[in-house]
A and B are shown apart, each in its own frame.
Chain A
Amino acid sequence: MADNDEELSLLEALDHLLDRGVVISGEAVISIGDVDLLYLGLNIVLANVDAIIRTANKR
C-alpha cells in the first residue's frame, strides 16, 4: 500500500509538472532522438494545446 501511495503521489506530481503553471511562449521543447523522447514530447504538446483551447474559451 505504501508503494501504491508513493506511485500515486509521483504520478500526481508529474501531472502537475506537465499540465499546470505558466507556459512561456515558444519554449515547449520537442526532442526527436528516440521513441521515449518523442512520446514525452508529444505529451507536453498535447497538454499545451488543450490549455490553449481552455484559455481561448474563457475569453
Chain B
Amino acid sequence: MRAVVIGAHRHRDDIRDDAIAIPLADLFLSGVEIAEQQPVSDRQLLVRVSRIRAQLLERATFIAIRYGFVIANESDAMAKCGAQVERWRRLLDEHRDEVELTLKVAAAAPLPRPNRTDFGSGADYLRALHAATQGAAIDESFRAAVDAQLVPLANQHRWIHRDNASMELALLVARERVADVNVAGAKLKSFDVPFLFSGPWPLEVFIDDHE
C-alpha cells in the first residue's frame, strides 16, 4: 500500500466516502491510495485528492496535512507521525466543534511580483518575494469593516500576508456560528473591493498555536 495523507482525525467514523483510514495510535489518518510508482505531482491525482478532501470537510473537523506527505503502511505512519499524536489528539478534542473560514482580499495597490531573472542568487530572490508579500495592504475602510463585523464572531482570527496581491483573514469559528459569519460576510459586498470568502475548512492555520 502507498497513500497520500489528507488529514489527522480523532474518530474512524469521520473518514468516509473515497478516503481510506490508516490507524495512528488512537487517531486515524485519512488518505488516498496510490499506485507504487505514481508520482504525487501527477495533476489528476492532485485534483482527485482535492475532491476527496472536500468530501471530508462535510463530515468533521480534522488537522490538515499539507499535500505531498506519503506513507507506506501503518508502521510507517507511526514512525513519521508518532511524535505528533499527543498534540494532535489535544487539538482535535479542543477544536472538535470549530471550523476555519477564509477571507481573501485583493490588495489596494498590488506590489509587482519579483522576477527571478533580476536576482543573482536564489536567497536574494526569496527575500524580495517575501518583502513583496509582506508589503501588500488592503483598503483600510474594508479592513475596519471586517474587523468590526466578522472578527467578533470568531473564537480566534489571524490576518496573514499570503502573496504580493492579497491579504487573508483566517477565522476559527464555532460550527453553530458559521451561518452568522456567512451573513456578515455577504454584507461586505457593499464595498468596491474584490474578495473571496470561503470555507468551512479543516484546522489549517490555527494548529500551530501551541508550538
Q: Do A and B bind each other?
A: yes
Residues of A within 8 A of B (CB): 8-10, 12-14, 16-24, 27-31, 33, 36-38, 40-41, 44, 47-50, 53-55
- Is residue B70 within 8 Å, beta carbon to beta carbon, of the partner chain? yes
Q: Are B68 and A20 in contact (CB under 8 A)?
A: no
Which residues in B have their C-beta under 8 angstroms from that of A29? Answer: 39-41, 68, 70
Q: Are A50 and B66 in contact (CB under 8 A)?
A: no
Interface residue SS majority, chain A: helix
**Number of residue pairs A-B, CB distance < 8 angstroms:** 93
The chain B residue sitting closest to A21, CB to CB, is B64
Chain B contacts with A in 152-186, Cβ cutoff 8 A? 160-162
Which residues in A have their C-beta under 8 angstroms from that of B5? Answer: 24
Min CB distance, A10 to chain B, in Å? 7
Q: Are B53 and A22 in contact (CB under 8 A)?
A: no
Which residues in B have their C-beta under 8 angstroms from that of A18? Answer: 66-67
A37 to B41, CA, bound (A): 5
Which residues in A have their C-beta under 8 angstroms from that of B162? Answer: 19
Q: Are B63 and A31 in contact (CB under 8 A)?
A: no
Q: Are A23 and B66 in contact (CB under 8 A)?
A: yes
- Is residue B119 within 8 Å, beta carbon to beta carbon, of the partner chain? no
A50 to B114, CA, bound (A): 14
Which residues in B have their C-beta under 8 angstroms from that of A48? Answer: 66
